């Protein structure tokens, strides 16, 4: 029987691609019959830092995982967080997912997914731990740079092609962190209290899209609690919603060390437990893997009949199903290591994700043939950003710094550089002060700026603790390390100062009015310097749009408009008091002017929305509203605009936001060109979650379709009726 099973594994691995799912499921049933109880339990927990065991007796392979979501992480030692020291584990560092979201381009998301999936497959990974789709609730969240912004519709549309792209390689995407992991401070125990409506309307849609549309093969739980129960083994989130309502047929994996109880883990949907006791954060013991909650303690409960064997059978069935899709699928491609095509994808995403926020008197683009003196000031001009940040840290083949990219593109200019400030080295979980003299760095920067024709200040945040980094949040909205004061002094000696912000989060800009131009550059990965120079020189016309709202001050953000129980909580509980009014929903509904709005981004050309029409103004629940929009490039440079459609329920029985994004499309236009595009909005997307019936509800009546280029730049309003 053993040899029959091994041959069957090889054969039916190919059958998956032929959609012969029934045969695969039958084969899985046969395998489960052959497994001992000990072997079944063994498959449900880790054997090393990033792998779970197979069953050698039956030819069932191990599962190997790797951190993402911006690249395939360097190899980690078997039983510690130390790097293994391999020489062939370098990767392409792709831009952070905030940048991908800023492209508003689902086609690029698929390219990104295919490329990173190829590298994961080449490195023999079965699960890539990404993408991250937690919602940007507060600009202080240290892990926002790994996610896709504040809007659930945008995150949904952008994560689906990423997932599909990864999985074309026979590598499982693993959407994370399910759910409500929207801050890093106290993440391992904070108990989130949120309305059912906000849960379903804001925090779950991207996960739902990943399952229902992306057909994702695995999902990672989160560290935090929701309504008193840890989310990695949560009855409502996993059993009722994920595996019940959505019909998820894949594997639920813990975040590393996020399991807390054997009975709950067994009965509430957890399939593979990782990192418990060997997560580098908690104490370890000899043979620790045997003491995981889903190891010997689970086996004992099964043997004494406290838990039925059908429970472990369901977990094993899901794990085997994942294997048929990945390491037991003999038709999956071989993958490709980091190569020029992958670097090209990274550069293209970076180019389209850069957001031009301000451009007074067409300061940018700079003439690439200029012979002027350009002072590049700021630590971020030279600091590597693929290092640090926590689990998304990467060992990349190369990382082109902003200074290097600027020097190469503006080869005829005199380029000078001064750090201006120093943040200190990266360290996980703690801040290490710089040993450099901040006063000396500031004086040198001011002297450099005084003698330059143009100053490009490349600052922002970095991947240090309490910046854009896992396991800690920022302590404020302003730029750290004295950058605001430094900018004031630089602007006092030079009027031609542009600011390039490298960050994954919004920042305050008290110097905004004095800056000639402001560019939001994100973390752009391997091709950072080239992509920034592409935009600053005009080789690429910026087309990125903000995937989150930049508030003027922290208190303008909904999560921070209340007492500390809203953020960060009291150390035990946290209440999402802004409810469904997250990001632009809060600003627009409360009429709070943002510093820069969601969906906002400038171009080197100008656009005009000429008209927006629908074939009818009366629709039924199962109809799709088709909006035809005429868009013109009224400038003299080729470019791209993102047409955005928001929906407003004119008269609702419940409080609703002033507007909600329901469609968008990026359109590329040559100078002087006009195009007609069509956007589709299913009427059933106008629903709200009605807590009185615990279900979605569509109300008849008047709706406004708001067509614009940002949440606060509405150009056309269409009035329709839902019957």
Catalytic residues: 255
**Strand partners of residue 676:** 630
Can you read off the two tokens belonging to residue 363? 């300061």
Single out the residue of 238, 272, 243 nearest to residue 258, CA to CA. 272
Whose structure tokens read 């959609």? 19
Single out the residue of 512, 235, 564 nearest to residue 359, CA to CA. 512
Q: Which residues contact 530 (CB under 8 A, 6 or more apart)?
A: 347, 350, 400, 405, 408, 409
Q: Is the peptide bond before 459 cis (omega within 30 degrees of 0)?
A: no
Q: Which residues contact 513 (CB under 8 A, 6 or more apart)?
A: none
* Cα 548 to Cα 137, 321, 468, 582, 607, distances in angstroms: 9, 37, 15, 10, 22
Cα(671)–Cα(200) distance, rounded to whole angstroms? Answer: 42
Specify whether the CB–CB gap between 154 and 103 falls below 8 A: no
- Could you tell me where the DSSP H helices lie in 67-172? 97-102, 106-122, 152-167
Cα(10)–Cα(4) distance, rounded to whole angstroms? Answer: 10
Cα(13)–Cα(322) distance, rounded to whole angstroms? Answer: 11
What dihedral do alpha carbons 680, 684, 690, 692 form, nearest 10°?
A: 180
Strands 51-52 and 63-67: antiparallel
Strands 218-221 and 355-359: unpaired
Q: Is the peptide bond before 51 cis (omega within 30 degrees of 0)?
A: no
Strands 229-230 and 225-226: antiparallel
Single out the residue of 430, 249, 377, 425 nearest to residue 324, CA to CA. 249
Single out the residue of 592, 605, 597 nearest to residue 631, CA to CA. 605
Sign of CA dihedral 14, 15, 21, 26: negative
* Cα 360 to Cα 372, 508, 527, 635, distances in angstroms: 19, 19, 27, 16
């Amino acid at each position: 029987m053993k040899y029959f099973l091994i041959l069957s594994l090889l054969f039916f691995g190919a059958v998956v691609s032929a959609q012969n799912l029934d045969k695969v499921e039958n084969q899985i049933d046969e395998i489960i019959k052959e497994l001992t109880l000990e072997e079944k339990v063994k498959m449900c927990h880790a054997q090393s830092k990033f792998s779970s065991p197979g069953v050698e007796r039956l030819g069932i392979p191990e599962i190997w995982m790797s951190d993402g979501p911006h690249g395939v992480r360097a190899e980690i030692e078997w039983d510690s967080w130390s790097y293994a020291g391999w020489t062939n584990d370098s990767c392409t560092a792709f831009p952070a997912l905030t940048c991908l979201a800023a492209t508003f381009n689902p086609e690029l998301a698929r390219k990104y997914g295919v490329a990173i999936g190829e590298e994961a497959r080449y490195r023999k990974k079965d699960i890539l731990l990404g993408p991250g789709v937690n919602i940007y609730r507060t600009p202080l969240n240290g892990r926002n740079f790994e996610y896709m912004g504040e809007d659930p519709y945008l995150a949904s549309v952008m994560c689906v092609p990423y997932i599909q792209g990864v999985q074309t390689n026979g590598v499982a995407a693993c959407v994370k962190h399910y759910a409500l992991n929207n801050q890093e401070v106290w993440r391992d125990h904070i108990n989130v209290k949120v309305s059912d409506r906000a849960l379903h309307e804001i925090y779950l849609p991207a996960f739902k899209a990943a399952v229902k549309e992306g057909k994702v093969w695995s999902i990672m739980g989160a560290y935090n609690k929701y309504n008193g129960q840890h989310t990695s083994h949560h009855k409502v989130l996993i059993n009722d919603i994920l595996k019940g309502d959505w019909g998820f047929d894949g594997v639920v994996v813990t975040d590393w060390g996020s399991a807390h109880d054997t009975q709950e883990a067994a009965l509430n949907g957890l399939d593979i437990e990782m990192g418990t006791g060997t997560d580098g954060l908690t104490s370890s013991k000899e043979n620790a893997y045997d003491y995981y909650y889903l190891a010997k303690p689970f086996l004992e409960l099964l043997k004494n009949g406290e838990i039925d064997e059908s429970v472990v059978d369901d977990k094993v069935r899901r794990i085997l199903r994942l294997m048929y899709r990945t390491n037991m699928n003999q038709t999956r491609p071989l993958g490709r290591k980091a190569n020029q095509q992958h670097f090209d994808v990274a550069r293209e995403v970076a180019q389209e994700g850069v957001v031009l926020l301000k451009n007074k008197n067409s300061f940018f683009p700079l003439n690439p043939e200029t012979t002027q003196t350009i002072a590049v000031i700021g630590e971020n001009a030279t600091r590597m950003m693929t290092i640090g940040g926590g689990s998304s840290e990467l060992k990349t083949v190369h990382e082109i710094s902003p200074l290097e990219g600027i020097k190469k593109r503006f080869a005829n200019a005199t380029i000078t550089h001064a750090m201006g400030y120093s943040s200190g080295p990266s360290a996980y979980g703690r801040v290490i002060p710089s040993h450099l003299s901040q006063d000396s760095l500031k004086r040198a920067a001011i002297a450099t700026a005084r003698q330059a024709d143009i100053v490009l200040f490349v600052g922002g945040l970095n991947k240090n603790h309490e910046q854009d980094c896992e396991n800690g949040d920022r302590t404020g909205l302003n730029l750290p390390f004295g950058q605001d004061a430094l900018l004031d002094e630089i602007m006092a000696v030079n009027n031609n100062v542009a600011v390039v912000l490298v960050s994954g989060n919004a920042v305050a800009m008290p110097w905004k009015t004095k800056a000639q131009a402001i560019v939001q550059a994100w973390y752009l990965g391997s091709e950072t310097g080239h992509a920034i120079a592409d935009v600053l020189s005009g080789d690429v016309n910026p087309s990125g749009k903000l995937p989150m709202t930049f508030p003027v001050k922290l208190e303008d953000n909904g999560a921070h408009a209340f007492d500390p129980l809203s953020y960060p909580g009291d150390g035990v509980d946290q209440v999402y008091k802004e409810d469904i009014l997250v990001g632009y929903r809060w600003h627009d509904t409360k009429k709070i002017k943002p510093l820069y709005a969601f969906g906002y981004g400038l171009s080197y050309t100008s656009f005009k929305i000429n008209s927006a029409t629908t074939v009818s103004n009366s629709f039924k629940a199962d109809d799709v509203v088709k909006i035809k929009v005429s868009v013109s490039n009224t400038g003299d440079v080729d470019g791209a605009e993102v047409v955005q459609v928001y929906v407003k329920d004119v008269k609702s029985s419940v409080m609703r936001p002033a507007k909600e994004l329901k469609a968008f499309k990026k359109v590329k236009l040559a100078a002087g060109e006009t195009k007609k595009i069509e956007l589709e909005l299913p009427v059933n997307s106008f629903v709200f979650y009605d807590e009185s019936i615990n279900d979605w509800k569509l109300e008849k009546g008047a709706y406004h379709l708001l067509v614009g280029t940002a949440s606060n730049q509405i150009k056309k309003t269409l009035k329709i009726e839902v019957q």
